Structure 1
């Protein structure tokens, strides 16, 4: 049979090329659609886990339990078939099967029936879910978020990431590094005789009500400690929109402060887990700042308590020389 030709070659070749081009376009469209669906899924998943949900390293979880920087409950959602004991630091965790999380957290009466004597957690509490696998923790966290709990945390990698039969959560590999009041004041430009200081980001991790009632160190950015882990997981553009300052880079010098130093210490660990390598904690906290009459010392109080009166104090002079010596010991050059 004679082959039909056209000016560009055989008709069969033209059809094949057309089909191939169509196939490439279709494949590209499908890949693009899949990427968009995956991105929507990630956004939806994040929303379903709560606005301030995040993953906690085993070290951060240990510090949370041992130092109590924020009101929290640890809930074990391990299946009944799990035979390994929980790490020692988590022996006080409440036990709640993943399948019952929504029902129990959905009403105070169901909670009271499941956990007699344990008060029903208020919405601002941090709920930390631990399970053998991170996947079951995430499902439990999503169920809690559906009940209105926005601070749902999961243990990074689940308990299986610690190794079978692990009896303890790991300790921090290095001690926290502190910075004193005078040294921070020098970094913040409060010593006029010091002409050059490296850039520093001071992050106040107290609640908004504390800052409003008792003042904040001039120049301090603000991220409440319960939001820090989720904040550091944001892309830089979204971080800036939400917190009004640039997201710190891994090599940036960052100082965390709170009323004393408990919350700031945990914040420094969370930040190190997120990749920030130069984190310091204000040793005296704002309670011991006393360099500014607008920053008042006060007794600690819970969110639901009546705020205490600020304590009387006298403004103290800055010891710039002591600050410079401390900065030298921290290998932070000033001129």
Structure 2
């Protein structure tokens, strides 16, 4: 039996227990209210964070594009390739019609354009300036863009024709970044070609082997004791000269290097090619295996201001005046070199050479 005192104590204990049980329940409302308020704060914070991130990303993109534009401008001035040069409309037409060197011509008008192109650019590959590095940097991208057209070899010459020369220069810089060092652009851009209409054929002058032999001093025993100085430039590849010989006294500039060589100053030209750069009034004769590359070289030289350019008509194939200079069939750089062809050594016709030189306005004594 419990006493009244015990009952009183039991009631006190029960009340305390009830208070302990009820206390957490009473605290639930403020806690739930705090969580709801916190949920609203987190959403706002997340939105502000995303907005700040978006602003930073946009700024980064704008800065990246600005850097790319500046880099492109600098590249167009400084990294257009080791053997970079400019072509006149006439030289471009000769390149298209005679094919003196392996090349691709690109028009920077975007693919799908319906604009008519001049005759010089029929068959040119269309690529926008922005995609030049993409198509030249990947054979897969090239095949996708130009189905059926072989990917260019590193030694190929790439010619860019755009609306402006600045656009062409940026494309040439992109090509150089992909390892193509032989870039050419059309001087003045496409507008010059369009404004000029049909370009006239090059007015080239040829010289036959007997006249060149007289100029080279090979006819002293025939009474020719003096001839005006002349520079003979062989524009064949180095492998051709090494395998089949070259005309005695000929200097050497491969035709793919000639556009850039003609832009060099006299001192730099001398250091690079080991002979003095010809001046506007100097007599210069160009030779190759036949006369295709030499003819284009003479046009390039005339465009650069050399006024007295001649082309060896027979080339080294028809020289036949020196046993060390052998005739051979033409071949590509990647092909196996052919055997030299047998030939009979022939004598110089000094009188015919003198008469031809007189007709060319080149007197000899």
- TM-score w.r.t. the length of structure 2 is 0.77
Q: Is the 8 A contact 1:58 1:169 kept in 2?
A: no
- Structure 2 residue matching 1:226: 3-state secondary structure: coil
User: In the alignment, which residue of structure 2 is the partner of 1:257?
Assistant: 287
Of 301, 305, 311, which residue of structure 1 is paired with 2:335?
305
Paired with 1:102 and 1:49, the residues of 2 have a C-alpha distance of 13
Contact kept? 2:98, 2:292, Cα under 8 Å: yes
Aligned CA RMSD, in angstroms, stands at 1.8
Structure 2: unaligned runs, 5 residues or longer: 1-72
1:171 to 189, 200, 210: 200
Deviation at 1:85, TM superposition (A): 1.4
Map 1:277-316 onto structure 2 (within 5 A): 277-316=307-346
Moved more, 81-90 or 297-306: 81-90
Which of 134, 159, 181 does residue 209 from structure 2 map onto? 181
Say which is worse superposed, 44-53 or 101-110, in terms of deviation. 44-53
Q: Distance in 2 between matches of 1:286 and 1:94?
A: 34
Kindly name which structure, 1 or 2, has the bigger radius of gyration based on alpha carbons. 2
Equivalent residue number for residue 326 of structure 1: 356
Alpha-carbon offset, residue 79 of structure 1: 4.6
Query: Which residue does 2:135 correspond to in 1?
Result: 104
2:114 and 2:267 mapped to 1: Cα distance? 45
- Structure 1 residue 314: deviation in Å? 1.1
Q: Distance in 2 between matches of 1:324 and 1:315?
A: 21
State how 1:1-335 maps to structure 2 within 5 Å. Answer: 47-79=78-110, 84-163=115-194, 168-172=197-201, 175-192=203-220, 193-335=223-365
Q: 1-side partners of 2:141 and 2:235: how far apart?
A: 34
Higher helix share: 2
Alpha-carbon distance between aligned partners in 2 of 1:157 and 1:49, rounded to the nearest angstrom: 16
**SS of the counterpart of 2:143?**
helix
Contact 1:74 1:130 (8 Å CA) reproduced: yes
The change in CA–CA distance for 1:113 and 1:79 in structure 2 (over 3 A counts) is closer
User: Using the alignment, how far apart are the partners of 2:243 and 2:170 within structure 1?
Assistant: 38
**Cα distance, 1:105–1:81 mapped onto 2, change above 3 Å:** closer
Structure 1 gap segments, 5+ residues each: 1-41
Looking at structure 2, the residues matched to 129 and 249 of structure 1 have their Cα atoms a distance apart, in angstroms, of 29
Contact 1:54 1:152 in 2 (8 A): yes
Deviation at 1:162, TM superposition (A): 3.1
Contact 1:62 1:171 (C-alpha < 8 Å) held by counterparts = no
The offset of 1:89, in angstroms, is: 2.4
Structure 1: distance between partners of 2:141 and 2:244? 39
User: What number of residue pairs does the alignment pair up?
Assistant: 292
Cα distance in 2, alignment partners of residues 79 and 308 from structure 1: 42
Residue 81 to residue 122, structure 1, CA distance change in 2 (3 Å): closer
Query: What secondary structure sits across from 2:171 in the alignment?
Result: helix
Deviation track 1:289-331 (CA, whole Å, cap 9, x = no partner) reads 0000000000000000000000000110111000000000101
Q: Partners of 2:238 and 2:334 in 1: how far apart?
A: 13
Q: 1:205 Cα deviation (Å)?
A: 0.2
Distance 1:141 1:44, change over 3 A: closer
Question: Could you report, residue by residue, the CA deviation over 1:72-123 in whole angstroms, capped at 9, with x for unpaired residues?
Answer: 0000112579764110121100000000000110011111111111110000
Deviations 1:105-147 (A, max 9, x none): 0011111111111110000000000111111111101000100
State the alpha-carbon separation in 1 of the partners of residues 177 and 161 from structure 2. Answer: 18
